[in-house]
Amino acid sequence: MRVSFINLLTVIGALASFANGYRDDYAFAARDILDELTASTRSLDRREILADITTRDLLHEVADRLEARGPKQCAYCKKPFPDTPEGHLYDHVKVHVKQEMDAKYGPKRR
């Protein structure tokens, strides 16, 4: 099999350019710059939106949402649990769940 020097040189040049195409140190630099630009425009949009809202409006909205929450209460018996840690309500609900399980499957035998 005879290969001429010109053909061999052409193949080597094609392989070198192919290998060089996959080795690009700056491949992600363009993406990083683009991400920074889009993030800065998004933050400007947010600033413009927030510039129209006053602190008083924010405080009223937070107060309204807190009032809408209401006191914590049991989902089963509607017993209120005002100003108590979440654990008290959790323990109370476990009693209802145990009663439900006992009624459905019978009490556990030890």
> In the chain, where are the structural domains located?
29-70, 72-110
Whether the per-residue pLDDT at 110 is higher than 50: the answer is no
pLDDT at residue number 26? 61
Distance CA 10, CA 16 (A): 10
Tokens representing 26 are 């700056």
pLDDT, residue 24, reads 58
pTM above 0.85, yes or no: no
Q: What is the pLDDT of residues 34-76, one digit of tens each?
A: 777 777 666 667 777 777 778 888 888 888 887 777 778 888 8
